[in-house]
């Protein structure tokens, strides 16, 4: 049953005289129902909290006199401030970023496969990087024996490599190059290897748009050999080809495909040239939790917010001097 609270209901003086102004409505609480403040609300100096397990909440009318609406919370429901009111300010998402020193080297590893991993035709990857030096191989993500490998090559091109358990292979190499720069770049890719030679699908984008490149695709359709004994971020296993630069928001979802040739799908990862909040476990873009989603501060950058289990820090990745959110 709805509950109503207004200047003519429940606030009248004894005997039906003139209502005494209600300077504060400190708490409106209910387990279920609709809560409404309506009419002339100029005397309401503060609405401090409105909470409910489920329900509809509204402040209507002239709310110019409402000095503060401190908190509105519910497990489920509809919340609205209507009338003469200033729109709330929503803070932008600020992504954590980590600096990997090639000389140390700093990198992340996992000595076993990701929990729940399985070979599959498809996959999706997204991350932000800042390349601090060029001319050497900078690994971003690699499986044991590099059956899956994402890297910036020594010729400064971007390279994706996928192998099957039985020697089939696919490789994408960008036409353009990525040189050292203080500017953060986004790369996103989605692929499907379930097509004949020459027809496999890979969509590769950066913050500027589609990335031109060439495919090495001579094999029949194959499942990518994702189930390897170990993975590394910012190097290969054993610290080989370490990254000299920074990473942020590393997202890897074997077996999951989202068509990144569609602008609206790319907008689930990047908007206005900045990172988008992917949810606490990275499930927002695809509707499922990816195996790998790294988003924590540098000291705990190995803690995986995805479902595949944590990684181990080698060296000491530092807090990056800038963030892709800057």
For 23-48, b/e burial (b = at least 16 CB within 10 A) is eebeebebeebbbbbbeebebbeebe
- d(CA 106, CA 235) in angstroms, rounded, equals 8
> Residue 290 class from Cβ within 10 Å (0-12 exposed, 13-18 middle, 19+ buried)?
buried
Quote the CA–CA distance of 235 and 140 in Å, as a whole number.
6
> Residue 90's pLDDT is what?
58
Tokens standing for 318? 């530092």
Question: What average pLDDT does this structure show over 286-314?
Answer: 98
Q: What sign for the dihedral angle of Cα 281, 287, 292, 296? A: negative
- The H-assigned helical ranges of the chain are 263-266
Residue with tokens 């100096």: 45
248 contacts 95 by C-beta, under 8 angstroms: yes
Interval 30-54 mean pLDDT = 39
Structure tokens at 270: 């990047």
Answer positive or negative: Cα dihedral of 296, 306, 95, 319: positive
d(CA 64, CA 61): 9
How do the domains of the chain map onto residue ranges?
3-81, 98-319
Question: What is the structure's pLDDT at 91?
Answer: 76
Structure-model confidence comparison of residues 202 and 65, the more confident one = 202
Structure tokens at 150: 């994402």
Kindly tell me the number of DSSP H helices and DSSP E strands found in the chain: 1, 23
The Cα-based distances of 49 to 25, 26, 62, 113 in angstroms read 8, 6, 19, 47
Q: Are 295 and 285 in contact (CB under 8 A)?
A: no
How confident is the model over 262-296, as pLDDT tens digits?
Answer: 999 999 999 999 999 999 999 999 999 999 999 99
Domain 98-319 in this protein, CATH class: mainly beta
300 C-beta neighbours (distance < 10 Å), count = 12
For residue 313, give Cα distances in angstroms to 141, 150, 301. 14, 19, 8
The structure's pTM equals 0.75
Q: Would the CA dihedral through 258, 263, 267, 269 be positive or negative? A: positive
89-107 residues labelled b (16+ CB within 10 A) or e (exposed): eeeeeebbbbbbbbeebbb
User: Average per-residue pLDDT in the chain?
Assistant: 82
pLDDT tens digits for range 145-203? 999 999 999 999 999 999 999 999 999 999 999 999 999 999 999 999 999 999 999 99
What's the rounded Cα separation, in Å, for the pair 46 and 282? 37
């Amino acid at each position: 049953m709805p509950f109503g609270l207004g200047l003519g209901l429940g606030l009248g003086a004894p005997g039906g005289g003139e209502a005494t102004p209600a300077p504060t409505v400190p708490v409106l609480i209910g387990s279920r129902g609709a809560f409404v403040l309506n009419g002339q609300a100029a005397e309401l100096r503060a609405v401090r909290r409105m909470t409910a397990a489920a329900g509809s909440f509204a402040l209507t009318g002239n709310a110019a006199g409402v000095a503060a609406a401190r908190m509105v919370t519910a497990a489920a429901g509809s919340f609205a401030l209507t009338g003469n009111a200033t729109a709330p300010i929503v803070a932008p998402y600020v992504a954590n970023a980590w600096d990997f020193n090639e000389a140390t080297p700093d990198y992340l590893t996992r000595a076993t496969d990701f929990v729940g991993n399985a070979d599959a035709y498809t996959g999706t990857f997204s991350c932000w990087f800042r390349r601090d030096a060029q001319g050497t191989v900078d690994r971003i993500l690699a499986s044991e024996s590099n059956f899956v490998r994402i890297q910036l090559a020594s010729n400064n091109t971007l390279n994706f490599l996928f192998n099957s358990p039985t020697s089939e292979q696919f490789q994408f190499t960008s036409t353009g190059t990525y040189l050292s720069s203080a500017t953060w770049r986004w790369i996103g890719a989605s692929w499907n290897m379930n097509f004949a030679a020459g027809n496999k699908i890979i969509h590769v984008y950066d913050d500027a748009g589609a990335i031109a490149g060439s495919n090495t695709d001579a094999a029949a359709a194959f499942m990518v050999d994702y189930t390897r004994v170990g993975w590394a971020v910012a190097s290969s296993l054993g610290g080989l080809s370490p990254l000299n630069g920074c990473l942020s928001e590393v997202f890897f979802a074997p077996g999951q495909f989202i068509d990144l040739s569609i602008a609206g799908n790319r907008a689930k990862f990047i908007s206005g040239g900045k990172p988008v909040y992917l949810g606490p476990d990275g499930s927002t873009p695809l509707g499922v939790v990816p195996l790998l989603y790294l988003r924590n501060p540098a000291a705990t950058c190995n803690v995986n917010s995805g479902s595949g289990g944590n990684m181990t820090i080698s060296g000491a990745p530092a807090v990056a001097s800038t963030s892709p959110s800057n």
